[in-house]
Amino acid sequence: MLKQYIEYLHSVKNLSSHSIRAYGRDIEEFIVFLKTRDKEIKDIELDDLRGYISRLSRKKLSAGTINRNMSALRGFIGFLRKQKILDVNPANGVRSLKTGRQLPSFLFEEEMDKILSHDFKDFWGLRDKTIFEFLYSTGCRISEATALNTGDVDLKNGMAIVQGKGRKDRIVFIGKNAKSLLSEYLSRRKHFTRGSDPESLKALFINHHGRRITDRGVRYILTRFIERDEIMKKVTPHTFRHSFATHILNRGADIRVVQELLGHSSLSTTQIYTHIGLDKLKKIYQEAHPHARYIPENHRQVR
């Protein structure tokens, strides 16, 4: 039944592959737990869910992680109800655990400038700097950036189209620094792609094998950057997204504008430009982002 649910998440719910894998892992672990109780999926009861929560707690998992597990199970159990495999929904008797509010980590502008100020010695150093400047310039998730193809980028107008959660496309803006680096990177990238692989040929950011770079690959590169600059903070690719939002908020951008620039899953591309016009978004971005001093005024809709 899990296989059918995974297909449902993909084809009906339009969840990202990352979310689907996470849900699948959480549900598989619960199914293994059920087997220790000599039970099958059709036998799920409230006591099983409470017992599973207790097991996760004994493993000293955080309240947030346990809640994520239960969210995955609620969705799965709801699907089982629709398929008439369960007569009642035992998850109705389970409450989410209280979690302390965690502030997202971010870098101060001086720390960000330090990371991005180093000169590069070769093409791979150029690629690394381009990736991190792009993440900071656009506020993209790392998964959105690594999934980009060269055709998704419009350097002339300082824009790119990324696919966010729920496979919803949105436009992001590319500031002056990122645009300059991308231009040089793209002019040299063709000499390092894997010529016989169509996927490699269209990937925007590539690895040393000439193939599309992975999220894990970017995290590994970032670790070396942070060690080199001796920044005593936990920094991940997502830190660039938080820093993007923090810095433009600090420089006067409205929080609603920031929501739209980040492309929260509740907003579609059409809704974005209904609420705030593209011209206004670009103007606010230009005025508020530390590395975006200039965006061409004569723009066109990408795609």
Domain limits, the chain: 2-93, 109-288
136 is catalytic: no
* DSSP bridge pairs for 169: 163
25 is catalytic: no
264 is catalytic: yes
Q: How confident is the model over 247-272, as pLDDT tens digits?
A: 887 787 777 777 778 876 543 322 33
In CATH, the architecture of 109-288 is Orthogonal Bundle (1.10)
Name the active-site residue from 13, 81, 273, 299: 273
8 is catalytic: no
Q: How far is CA 149 from CA 130, 152, 183, 186, in A?
A: 15, 5, 14, 11
Name the active-site residue from 10, 211, 238, 242: 238
Q: Which homologous superfamily does the CATH classification assign to the domain defined by 2-93? A: Tyrosine recombinase, N-terminal domain (1.10.150.130)
Name the active-site residue from 127, 129, 141, 179: 141
Q: How far is CA 85 from CA 2, 77, 300, in A?
A: 12, 9, 51
Instruction: Please list, residue by residue across 137-168, b when 16 or more beta carbons sit within 10 angstroms of its beta carbon and e when fewer do.
Output: bbbbbbbbbbbbeeebbbeebbbbbbbbbeeb
Q: Compute the distance between CA of residue 88 and CA of residue 51 in angstroms, rounded to an integer.
A: 18
What does each of the 303 residues of the chain score in pLDDT, given as a tens digit? 889 999 988 888 877 777 888 899 999 999 999 999 999 999 999 999 999 999 999 998 888 889 889 999 999 999 999 999 998 899 998 888 776 555 557 888 888 998 898 888 899 999 999 999 999 999 999 999 999 999 999 999 999 999 887 778 889 999 999 999 999 999 999 888 876 678 778 999 999 999 999 999 999 999 888 887 777 778 899 899 888 888 887 787 777 777 778 876 543 322 332 334 456 667 777 777 888 764 444 443 333
39 is catalytic: no
Distance in Å from the first CA to the final CA of the chain:
39
Burial tier of 301 (Cβ tally within 10 Å: 0-12, 13-18, 19+): exposed
- Verdict on whether the full-model pTM lies above 0.85: no
